Amino acid sequence: MSDSPSLTLFHHLRGNCHLEKSNEATEIHTLSPNRDQLVRRDALTGLEKETDDDVENNGSTNTQDNVIIVPHMQISTNDMHLFNRAISSGGSLLADLQRATMAAQNFYEDNESTKSRSPWVLKRLYEWSHRAKSREIVKHVESALMDSQINDEEDMKLMKYLDCSWDQLFPGTSPKIDDKQRRQYQAVWELFHSELIFLFRQLYVLKYVYKEPLKKCQVEGCLLTAEPQLLFGNLEQIIKISQKFCHHFMALLLIHQSTEKVDNKVYKKYDIPTMICLLIDKFLKAQNTISAFQAYCINYKANIEYIVLTREKEDRFAEYEKVCAADPRAGRLTMDDMLICPLQRVTRIPILLKEIHKSTVNPQDQDKLQVVIDLMRESLQSIDDSVEWLHNFELVQHLQNQVVWPNILELESKTFMPDFLKNILNRQFCENLLAHPRRKLNHNGNLQIIESGGKLSDCEAYLFNDMFLMTKPKKTNAKAKRGSNVGTTKNEMYTVIKQPIPLDSCVFCDAESADTPNTGSSNLKNAFVVIHLTRYYQVVSVNTFQATDKADKELWINKFQESIENYECIQLKDMLKCTPLFSNLNVRRTSKNTNGKSKEDGKQDEKSAEAEPKENANINETFPNSNGKV
């Protein structure tokens, strides 16, 4: 073995701690290879016994040292000497081992590169994971739907009336009642039956088919990004109000009934007007009834927007909605369809009360019902005002982000400013002026300002309930159409031209009035003038605007007149609240129909007209065509 090349071996044998050496004279040095050389391949097979002659004949073929990495093998103790002898020889088997090792390395390298080049395995794993999670969601939702049932005894009693008719609701009535009495019973039955449908087939569907399963899925760790409070709002309050309405109806139905004899037979008679008046009175005077509907109506838009956002963020939320909509109680109605039901219900109640009023014969009962209907309409008006206020406040907030207020140096370039004030006065203090809870946008649109020399410049004007604001487009990527009552878009910014004009310090007049001397100028067509005066009646600015057409000009003038009158009325109310006369004085509201004034109102108007200050009279003399007051 002296002529044979030196051979360095690394034995990586699983389950064998050491190998026996067949030739004690020959020493084999075992060195630990580098980590890069630790590559496994399939186990060696087909080892044959080599003779000494073969080893001697093939021993001189290789002149370099060789490192062989033998993969793990299960070798019995009896065959160890054969394996030792095989790897100790330097014949063709040694070359085969080298070629096999290199082939195994190339094979695994190709597999690794293939995996890195083709991501279909990862996509398939993601699809399997997504399907598994979807099946898990479906399983949790179906289990929660089976457990979400109505268990209250009082509700179970009310459910019996869902399928009853009007004669079953009013048992024992005479078969000879007139048509108006029958229509009255049917109208009352419609009021009660529609409330039952609203409670059991709409509100309870939202609660037991959508809300409760969602909460139970979140307990299991699913759909944690969805907030039930933001999805359903104050649904529990609306459910309690509807429950009380139904229970009060049944209680009053038992109380307000009497007996009458017809053809020697005793029949039941129901005092419908009194019962309905007491029912609606309890409904309106109950604690938090109107405020609950106000909160729901105000938050409705935000709830719908949150549902859309949740669908985009949470993929499994669509699976949850699909399973819930497939429930028989939902009737294939989605969450969006159910959430609008309280808004529809509260607006339908006055219509049902009007039907009861039509079928009432007694004039006194009609008056009672009319009072109740008026109270209900006032409550609905307060709800509408709340929703309108929210819409207006969002619009004003959006407008505040679009309007840019120039600093004092941009407005007055010749103004000297000390250095210590430049940083302080670099921005206007009125940047957050517009977004006030009591500020309302009455009208806005595109006008043109007539400057000296007849030059026209674009202006976006905003008429609020307390001031008039003039701006000009800063970035006109998408100009609004002239005269359109459309707010600014997201890409538009507007710069304030002049300081806002308070409505209690402005006078507006029609520049095209018949009393105006004819100057022959065509620039005053469809034009009106807004004059800004200080509290000392000093004229600060005169602004002449040109509208798109005559109708647009008349609209602006009417809006100015209405805004100034309402502003004066609000100021008068605020002033009278500080005096003890407020409870005894009735502040008139401006309305279009003035034919219904009494004689006393006419006398008061004459006295108030005589008591006007002389300054206003002087202004009217100065501006005979003006439609506003200081």
Q: Which residues pair with 122 in a beta bridge?
A: none
Residues 226-248 have pLDDT tens digits of 999 999 999 999 999 999 999 99
Task: Write down the pLDDT at residue 519.
Answer: 52
Q: What is the mean pLDDT of residues 151-162?
A: 89
**Residue 308 pLDDT class (50, 70, 90 cuts):** very high
CA 323 to CA 3: how far, in whole Å?
Answer: 82
Crossing angle of helices 289-313/317-325, nearest 10°? 120
CA 239 to CA 233: how far, in whole Å?
Answer: 12
CA 207 to CA 24: how far, in whole Å?
Answer: 87
Give how far Cα 136 sits from Cα of 32, 131, 217, Å: 51, 8, 10
Tell me if 552 sits within 8 A of 485, measured CB to CB: no
3 state SS of 599? helix
Task: Write down the pLDDT at residue 101.
Answer: 55
What count of Cα atoms within 13 Å lies in the side-chain half-sphere of residue 175? 2
Task: Write down the pLDDT at residue 306.
Answer: 94
DSSP 404: E
- Tell me the CATH number for domain 425-622: 2.30.29.30
Q: How many CB atoms lie within 10 A of CB 165?
A: 10
**Residue 15 pLDDT class (50, 70, 90 cuts):** very low
User: What pairing do the DSSP bridges indicate for beta strands 403-404 and 494-496?
Assistant: parallel
Task: Write down the pLDDT at residue 400.
Answer: 92
Task: Write down the pLDDT at residue 260.
Answer: 75
**Torsion-angle region of residue 32: left (phi > 0), alpha (psi -120 to 50) or beta?**
beta
Structure tokens at 600: 């006393």
Question: What residue spans define the domains of the chain?
Answer: 7-117, 148-400, 425-622
CA 101 to CA 87: how far, in whole Å?
Answer: 14
Task: Report long-range pairs for 342-350 (Cβ below 8 Å, ≥24 apart).
Answer: 342/203, 342/238, 342/293, 342/296, 342/297, 343/296, 343/297, 343/300, 345/194, 345/195, 345/198, 345/202, 346/293, 346/297, 346/380, 346/383, 347/380, 348/194, 349/191, 349/376, 350/376, 350/377, 350/380
Task: Write down the pLDDT at residue 96.
Answer: 53
Task: Write down the pLDDT at residue 109.
Answer: 55
Residues 416-443 have pLDDT tens digits of 888 888 888 888 888 888 998 899 999 9
CATH 1.20.900.10 for domain 148-400, yes or no, is: yes
**Residue 447 pLDDT class (50, 70, 90 cuts):** very high
User: What pairing do the DSSP bridges indicate for beta strands 265-270 and 257-262?
Assistant: antiparallel
Give how far Cα 172 sits from Cα of 169, 183, 191, Å: 10, 16, 20
CA 502 to CA 534: how far, in whole Å?
Answer: 9
Minimal CA–CA distance to 41: which of 84, 75, 72? Answer: 72
